[in-house]
Amino acid sequence: MGTKKYGKQMKLKSQINQVIKEAFSKAGIDHEPMSVTDASKAEFGDFQFNGAMALSKKLGKNPREIAADILNHLDLTGVLSKAEIAGPGFINLWLDPLWIAAQCENALKDSRLSIEKRETPVKVVVDYSGPNMAKQMHVGHLRSTIIGDTLANLLSYLGDDVIRQNHIGDWGTQFGMLIAYLEMIGEDGSVSLKDLEQFYKDAKRRFDADEAFADKAREYVVKIQSGDAHCLALWQKFIDVSLGHCEEVYDKLSVHLTRDDVRAESFYNDDLPTVVEALRAKGTLQESDGAQCVFLEGDEIPVIVQKGDGGYLYATTDLAALRYRAQKLEAGRIAYVVDARQAGHFKQVFRVAKEADFVAPEVMLEHVGFGTMMDPNGKPFKTRDGGTVKLIDLLDEAMVKAKDAIKDKESYSQQEIDALAKIIGIGAVKYADLSINRESNYIFNWDKMLSFEGNTSLYMQYAYARIQSIFRKYDGKIEGEIIIGDALEHRLSTMLLRFEDVLNRAAVDAAPNQITTYLYDLVTLFMRFYEQNPILKEGVDEKMKMSRLLLADLTAKTIKQGLALLGIQVVDKL
């Protein structure tokens, strides 16, 4: 048992790849080996190397021969303990239980679970949420808000320098109407603005019915744009209140957006003429039907940056924002967490920005698109009368429904129940969204998301609480080492070590569902382990008890950390 001398080193796959690479070199194979993959079945080991088949043609040898050659030079003294050739030339790999155990023990000692921070952080702008100040946040903002926040959490955790940007919509003709109405009502606005949706409707009704009011609204649009102090003050008041509504939602969602992250549309106002000028100077600008356009090679439709009447458009603002982010913020990666329907728009804007040198060629521009939220019938999510569902109402409903999931309500105070309901309810809504492939549409289903069964936040939270209950019951010192006793312990501990790779992969792909899939697999495995390998029961050997407690502890910590990245909390008791 004296071989646990391995340092703190993770990135599981890359370590195994390193072993393979060394074998290649010793065997004199002058090719870069492909990466190992997770074994497709437990009986095939922990990982598998499939590169022998691919090399067959290049080396003019049959794949099993090549596999044998690699295997003969494979170092089975450190990370790996066993390797076998199977089928046409697969190499199945088993990790060394001692090595696994040592790695898990190291992870337990480290507050970051041995997850390394990137040595050279990338400055990443994550643009998400972006609500329109004229209206209340509705379900359409949910996905951007929580996917974006998760991405920001994740990248930040992995060591990137994350800059959150909330590109709120605070500019445009509708604000003339809204502030004219605000002024007409004459109060400070805080009362009537309680329900922005209603306020908007009232203003619109007035606008349509009252010609004088409509004129005033139009006049006010011009006045805000020309910097009229009175109108700007009204406008500012309105934005403040509206942003306050958003913050209420962010707070409920435990989303880390603050006023410091706000870079509103209006922030770029002064830049818009210079963006157009810069494009003109580049010679990419062309007039068409009175509008200033950029025609991109191969695209039918131009990017219009200035209207015939001289006004600017959202493409102009996006270009200004891109330039600001690339040049002022010095971002190396800019991610837009926006509805997939805007794919075409971003594709064009990104191209223009690069071609105009607003953004250096090496800067990664990505549209992190996502699908639409549907009702259980597969239709876009709406209220019964066809209106949009206010996000705050949806979240409140989630908390109400969540109360049913609490086990012994009698043993909690009302306050505790409310706090629990928030953690459960909001967690369920977020998890349901984050656990499906970002790019596809998803069907919103209360019963499913608030179930204890399947890949849900409650199943995770339950597993976590159950582990905590083991520790409450044990209530003693945990001292000892991890012993990999059986196949399930082997699989569980290996799974625990995969966490870092999963996070890195999810960060690259901007895919939160890779994290949830992992957590679900981990918890399922733990539940099986726990069922089969008693921890506190009579007759369990003391050393095994300690080992299992340690594994349970690391599992709980991994669940907690994984959920934390998704912005979901855990509780010790459910």
Partner RNA sequence: GCACUCUUAGCUCAGCUGGAUAGAGCAUCGGUUUGCGGUACCGAAGGUCACAGGUUCGAAUCCUGUAGGGUGUACCA
For the segment 190-229, give every residue that binds RNA (CB under 7 A). none
* DSSP strands (E only) in 386-523: 442-443
Contacts to RNA from residues 145-174, by CB under 7 A: 169, 172
Q: Shortest gap between Cβ of 538 and RNA (angstroms)?
A: 9
The 415-444 contact track toward RNA, x by CB under 7 A, reads --------------------xxx-xxxxx-
Q: Shortest gap between Cβ of 4 and RNA (angstroms)?
A: 26
Radius of gyration of the chain (CA): 28
Q: Which stretch binds RNA (CB under 7 A): 114-122, 178-186, 239-247, 453-461?
A: 453-461
**284 sits near RNA (criterion: CB under 7 A):** no
Angle between helices 51-59 and 63-72 (to 10 degrees): 110
Q: CB nearer to RNA: give 91 or 193.
A: 91
Q: 190 by DSSP, 3-state: which? A: coil
- DSSP conformation letters of 49-83: E-HHHHHHHHHTS-HHHHHHHHHHT---SSSEEEE
Q: Shortest gap between Cβ of 3 and RNA (angstroms)?
A: 27
Triad 457, 461, 464: Cα angle to 5°:
145
**274 sits near RNA (criterion: CB under 7 A):** no
**341 sits near RNA (criterion: CB under 7 A):** yes
| Rounded Cα–Cα distance for residues 533 and 485 (Å) | 10
**308 sits near RNA (criterion: CB under 7 A):** yes
- For residue 367, the tally of other CB atoms under 10 A from its CB is 22
**406 sits near RNA (criterion: CB under 7 A):** yes
Beta-bridge mates of residue 333: 124, 364
The 462-491 contact track toward RNA, x by CB under 7 A, reads x--xx-xxx--x------------------
Contacts to RNA from residues 23-52, by CB under 7 A: 34-35, 37-41, 44, 48, 50-51
**344 sits near RNA (criterion: CB under 7 A):** yes
- For residue 18, the tally of other CB atoms under 10 A from its CB is 15
Q: Shortest gap between Cβ of 5 and RNA (angstroms)?
A: 29
For strand 442-443 and strand 373-374, is the pairing parallel, antiparallel, or unpaired? parallel
Q: Shortest gap between Cβ of 463 and RNA (angstroms)?
A: 8
**54 sits near RNA (criterion: CB under 7 A):** yes
**382 sits near RNA (criterion: CB under 7 A):** no
| Rounded Cα–Cα distance for residues 175 and 25 (Å) | 67
Would you say 213 and 207 are in contact if contact means Cβ atoms under 8 Å apart?
Answer: yes
Q: Which stretch binds RNA (CB under 7 A): 114-122, 294-302, 355-363, 475-483?
A: 294-302
- Tell me the C-alpha to C-alpha distance, in Å, between residue 234 and each of 175, 184, 188, 192, 230: 10, 11, 9, 14, 6
Q: Shortest gap between Cβ of 254 and RNA (angstroms)?
A: 21
**15 sits near RNA (criterion: CB under 7 A):** no
Among 27, 53, 59, 419, binds RNA (CB under 7 A): 53
**244 sits near RNA (criterion: CB under 7 A):** no
